[in-house]
Structure 1
Amino acid sequence: MNPSIHFTLSFSEPQAHYVEVEMHIKSFTSLDYLDLKMPVWAPGSYLIREYPKNVERFSASSTEGKELKTYKTSKNTWRVTHNGDDIIVKYAVYAFENSVRTSHIDHSHAFLSPVGIFMFVNEHLHLPCDISVHMPSHWNKISTGLEPGKDLHTYHADNFDILYDSPLEIGNQDTWSFEVDGVPHEFAMVGIADYDREQISRDVSKIIAEENRIWGSNPNQHYTFITHNYQSAHGGLEHLNSTVLAASRYTYSQPNTYKGYLSLVAHEYFHLWNVKRLRPKALGPFDYEQENYTTGLWIMEGFTAYYDNLIVRRCGFYEEREYLQQLAIDFNTVYNRPGYELQSAAMSSFDTWIKQYRPDENSHNTSISYYNKGAMLAVALDLKIIAETQGERRLDDVIKAAYEQFYLIENRGFEEDEFRLLAEQVSGVDLQEIFQAAHSLEELDYNKYFNAVGYRLIDHNANQHTPTLGIKIVHSDSKTIIKQVDRNSGAWKGGLNVEDELIAINGHRIDPQNKAFDYILAQAKVGDTVSILIARDGLVHTLEIPVLLSDKKAFSIEVIPDADTRATELGKIWLSL
């Protein structure tokens, strides 16, 4: 008889944020012990999150009720002695963290991120498993990408990779369905929010149809959108045939924020091809116990970050001006972080495990995001291909061909050089300088690409001579506190620190409205020195801080008024609806 695993989930104390898990393990008769493991990170969110820290009351017994000896051998491994009998393992998981990648349980619902709930038998990730959910009487719905089982509230996964990629929302969420290109889609709205079902269905259907067109086919039999509505939130995490989104409950009533929500939908849905199937070799099969390193996240997340707003534009939700404003944000975000001179897009990808999800007060000085920089590189690739093929090819053709070659035909991950060679083969364009730029600190001349299609990237601060100290401040409990110091700024050179309290500047008391601070800087010239009184760790100091020229950028992307006809035509192809 083949080994099998069945999980039963119960919620006797949802108000205390617990789920009780019973794991029935059958037919592992040849082993003296079993090692049960829990993942320590979630695919798509590249940080060791230590999910096992929430496990408690672990015990094991035979099906006849005989208690079995258990002990831990590592932070995420529980060893169960075994005499050939079937085993029943029981444990509870505390879940009270609101995010798209962590579980949250309260009286109203349970959102379960599977990597932090379900254990696997060591070296047996390939095994199928079944899940039964025993809901509290006041809950009535389950939304998940898992396949339904034979009985009510039961589900099946062909292996643990699928289980770990299939979150569950359990409670009283508002659900409805619609179909796009023959594939049913379920929407599950969690929490109070003022939204229009018909509008969301209509608008999201346009996005799905456009993405299906780009990729050529949809790999799913069904798809589930789970949205958690909070007072203030924005984010998402992709899964194989579902996504979990976080949004403000006020998002849907304002055009700008609603378009941002549609962009989030476009981003996470795009991932069902780009990342979940088309992927670097390092991103699957996964090692759930340690970091999985790749320099290719600038392609996976960066390309997706480029396409999300572009798809919203193609669907007609963004006017051209609005789309260009969104694209310019990526350039402003990267070039207003001193870290762009120290970290490439590829290294940002590789170091995501220690930098992207663990920012500190100095992160902007040492790092960039592969989302923003990857989007910049993606637009360069798209525009170069459009320009040099006279509009016959574009980045769409590259990613579709890569999906077909590496996933549909060869069913494997790719190396970056393979991706570049395929891109050049499909487009007929030499793309090496852009791919090399992803691994370099040398910046591309992006206007070379924008100008070729009738647009230009303009820094409106280029001719400004704005004096600055290079700090960001916040006001808290009548105190003015430094929260950021820019590399090589006057504050940096003069010794101001994050968490210093600003008391006075040139003898003027700092006030919560920044009147004195703004007045002194307005009078100062580049090269002057200002005297700043601070409190640091309870001691008062006076520091002389040089006033330097601000290097902050203010980019916009605009039409070139006198662009030649051909460039203008190519620009229309780029931003066509």
Structure 2
Amino acid sequence: MTAKSQVKINFEVSFKEPQAHYAEVEMNIAGITAKNYVDVKMPVWTPGSYLVREFAKSVEGFGATAGGKSVKTEKVNKNTWRVYNAKANAVKINYRVYAFEISVRTAFIDASHAFLSPANIFMFPAGMIKTPSTVKIIPFTGWDKVSTGLEPVAGQNFTYKAPDFDILYDSPLEVGNQDIFEFNAAGVRHEVAMYGGGNYDKERLKVDMAKIVEQETAVFGENPNKHYTFIVHNYAQGGGGLEHLNSTVLGASRNGYGTERGYSGFLGLVAHEYFHLWNVKRLRPIALGPFDYENENYTTNLWIAEGFTSYYPTKVMLRAGFINQEGFITSNLGSIGTVMNTPGSKINSAAESSFNAWINPAYRPSENANNTFISYYTKGQVVGLLMDLEIINATKGAKSLDDVMKAMYLQCKTLKRGYTDAEFKAMVEKISGISFTNFWDKYVTGTVDVEYAKYFAYAGIDVINENEGKSVPYLGAAAARTSAGTGKVIIGAVSRGSGAWNGGLNVNDEVVSIDGAPAEMMLERMSQITYKKVGDVIKVSIVRDGLKRDLDITLTANPTVRFKSTINEDATPAQLVVRKKWLGIN
């Protein structure tokens, strides 16, 4: 090929059969020399969602022409097509993409709209990731809007430009008749594109979403965008989000805006994904960019990238006035409880959980996941909470995790690259003025239980485990009925170290009876056999693979934690300083 600056790439996307979930893609590459063929590739994953999804599986009808004549093409591996250009300096490639998976990370097309997740749709020429491209959208009949973070090409309707494929793959497009409204915050124009209808109040959202933008911008001191696009898909039941450089895609329930819980949940999702504008997209682990779109990209720092982005929405919601101090404390204690009540948290450290993201059971469900894995979202959120309190306490209220995040953002901006784990730790120590080696050993690379009482005591908040000292019998198996009306009770999960685990009760066992009582009557008491004591033996009759078996199971003590917090009215002046800083008390 010629020098990359001389190659020109443009795409045209149209929709002949949207009702059948297809996009028609035309890709033109001009300026080709020096080779007899061009390889074009489809990404196997999309940044922000750490799973190899094999987008090439949805491609069909691949063909190419040069000089108006068909040329030979062949598929050379799972995601690469070779186009023999017969020494022509330009080729036109055509292919179709089937798009019928509803999520924030995958393309979806039907008669009402098209959501184009770019890594699902656009191929790139091998070795040409840094080449600019343009994208022209030809909306289906009756569609008249396109929403995207891409920059428009002046004078060309529905045509957009990307300086390279990293930007293209980071810029989803919503095509259809979405309801669009705008607001300005932190000096940035924000567009909100609502698909699917819903009981949302646009005027209320404009005000409240702007508050979130302002609060998060204040953490970092600047907002790096000129414009930002929220693409919101409202379904009967929806959820999730995926961050992009100057846009995000959110899933929501169309009728959830009418309740305070639903509305608060949506604002929390906005806060999470918007925080990614800095944390991940600019303040990022060094492994997350430039991306390899054909293989897994490993990092041990998703506990920062996603975990801290799970911690900060609660802080932002508190600062913006959407939740109160009690709600903030309760939410954070709930996260600690989730970590401590998950057996996998003693197997997977925060760093290991991050590195193992590519086999994350959230994407590949496993009946044993609870025993072997802990989410880097939740564990990272807890690490962020503890680190925040440690910094505030060490600096006597002068600094907090905010200062670390801002300093690391500016460092990444200056160095024009992501951070290493050692660099992040060094900045935490610089801001706090103390060593964090022991903290790292415990909570980042280690799997010790959270010292919750110690950290909340920094802020003069007393926290107790209401289950401590109690001896409640515990079977350790979760049950679920099969199809409605069968009366069968099937084991869905078994907890590590429990009586069920030690006694040999298995997932998929059908429980017939417990101590002679029909299992269906015991369904609500499967986890806690309250009529027994710890150490008692119960007889569980099961059917496994069509054969009946009797198991003697010794009940263990319930290991779960349940927290209660109390604001200490007699807190010391030092504790009050920490509390004021952490809770944002004026």
The aligned counterpart of 1:221 is: 226
Taking the aligned partners of 2:290 and 2:158, their CA distance within structure 1 comes to 29
The aligned counterpart of 1:285 is: 290
1:5 paired with 2:9, answer yes
TM-superposed deviation, 1:335: 1.0
Output one character per residue of 1:231-287: Cα deviation in whole Å (capped at 9) or x when no partner. Answer: 222211100000001111222111122112111111110101110011111000000
The aligned counterpart of 2:36 is: 32
TM-superposed deviation, 1:312: 0.5
The aligned counterpart of 1:565 is: 573
- The structure-2 alpha-carbon separation of the partners of 1:519 and 1:376, relative to structure 1 and needing over 3 Å to count, comes to closer
The SS at the match of 1:474 is: strand
Contact 1:459 1:555 in 2 (8 A): yes
Contact 1:480 1:512 in 2 (8 A): no
Superposed counterparts of 1:381-460, under 5 Å: 381-407=387-413, 409-437=414-442, 438-460=444-466
Count residues with an aligned counterpart: 574
- Relative to the length of structure 2, the TM-score reads 0.95
Contact 1:110 1:171 in 2 (8 A): yes
Superposed counterparts of 1:451-470, under 5 Å: 451-470=457-476
TM-superposed deviation, 1:29: 1.8
Taking the aligned partners of 2:357 and 2:464, their CA distance within structure 1 comes to 30
Taking the aligned partners of 1:65 and 1:90, their CA distance within structure 2 comes to 13
TM-superposed deviation, 1:297: 0.7
Taking the aligned partners of 1:442 and 1:512, their CA distance within structure 2 comes to 38
Taking the aligned partners of 2:562 and 2:422, their CA distance within structure 1 comes to 34
The aligned counterpart of 2:110 is: 106
Contact 1:60 1:80 in 2 (8 A): yes
- The structure-2 alpha-carbon separation of the partners of 1:88 and 1:532, relative to structure 1 and needing over 3 Å to count, comes to same
Name which of 498, 504, 514 aligns with 1:495: 504
Name which of 552, 559, 565 aligns with 2:560: 552
TM-superposed deviation, 1:561: 3.8
Taking the aligned partners of 2:521 and 2:9, their CA distance within structure 1 comes to 61
TM-superposed deviation, 1:348: 0.2
Name which of 309, 327, 332 aligns with 2:332: 327
The aligned counterpart of 2:264 is: 259
1:177 paired with 2:185, answer no
Superposed counterparts of 1:148-227, under 5 Å: 148-150=152-154, 151-227=156-232
The SS at the match of 2:198 is: coil
Taking the aligned partners of 2:521 and 2:319, their CA distance within structure 1 comes to 45
- The structure-2 alpha-carbon separation of the partners of 1:557 and 1:265, relative to structure 1 and needing over 3 Å to count, comes to farther
The SS at the match of 1:102 is: coil
Name which of 510, 525, 529 aligns with 2:519: 510
Output one character per residue of 1:456-515: Cα deviation in whole Å (capped at 9) or x when no partner. Answer: 332221122211110111112222111110011111111111111111111111226736
Taking the aligned partners of 2:99 and 2:305, their CA distance within structure 1 comes to 30
Q: Which amino acid aligns with 1:78?
A: W
Contact 2:440 2:446 in 1 (8 A): no
Output one character per residue of 1:111-169: Cα deviation in whole Å (capped at 9) or x when no partner. Answer: 11100100000000001000111111121111110111130111110100000000011
Name which of 93, 96, 105 aligns with 1:89: 93
Taking the aligned partners of 1:519 and 1:156, their CA distance within structure 2 comes to 57
Taking the aligned partners of 1:571 and 1:510, their CA distance within structure 2 comes to 49
Contact 1:506 1:520 in 2 (8 A): no
Q: Percent same amino acid at aligned positions?
A: 48
Q: Which amino acid aligns with 2:542?
A: I
1:270 paired with 2:279, answer no
Report the RMSD for the aligned CA atoms in angstroms. Answer: 1.6
The aligned counterpart of 1:243 is: 248
List gaps (5 residues or longer) in structure 2: none
TM-superposed deviation, 1:444: 4.7
Output one character per residue of 1:381-408: Cα deviation in whole Å (capped at 9) or x when no partner. Answer: 111111121111111111101111122x
TM-superposed deviation, 1:327: 1.0
1:373 paired with 2:379, answer yes
Q: State the 4+ residue runs in structure 1 displaced beyond 4 angstroms.
A: 517-520
The SS at the match of 1:59 is: strand
The SS at the match of 1:447 is: helix
TM-superposed deviation, 1:186: 0.3
Taking the aligned partners of 1:429 and 1:541, their CA distance within structure 2 comes to 58
